[in-house]
A = this chain, B = another copy of it.
């Protein structure tokens, strides 16, 4: 069993390390949306409607600090800030796609249908 320290935190395996970088409720959805286009803060906010302002901001900060996305500020009024995926972020897209496929299979296995909500 590997065991290592990163950023003052003790990790026990690579899975835990990876999930700490791109896991959580919002990071993968954010990266996924930046997959093939640059987006402004407000566009991301609209694209992920239920995320709160605080969570979107904090998750973007963390993704930026760890090099998965880049942040470009335009010196205009009102402010314009564009977020784009970085090479490191692009490497994450593959595993996100894999998890996504697994999730779809799992949903079938559980008999969950994405039409359920609309049906309500």
Contacts and interface: CB of A to CB of B under 8 A. Distances in A.
A116 interface: yes
Interface in A5-55: 5-6, 10, 12-19, 21, 23, 25, 28-29, 32, 48, 50
Contacts of A29: 12-13, 15-16
Each complex incorporates copies of this chain amounting to 2
Contacts of A99: 14-15, 18-19, 95, 98-99
Q: How extensive is the interface on chain A, given as a class?
A: 35 or more
A104 B14 contact: yes
B5 A120 contact: yes
A81 interface: no
A74 interface: no
A98 to B, nearest CB: 5
A100 interface: yes
A56 interface: no
B116 A91 contact: no
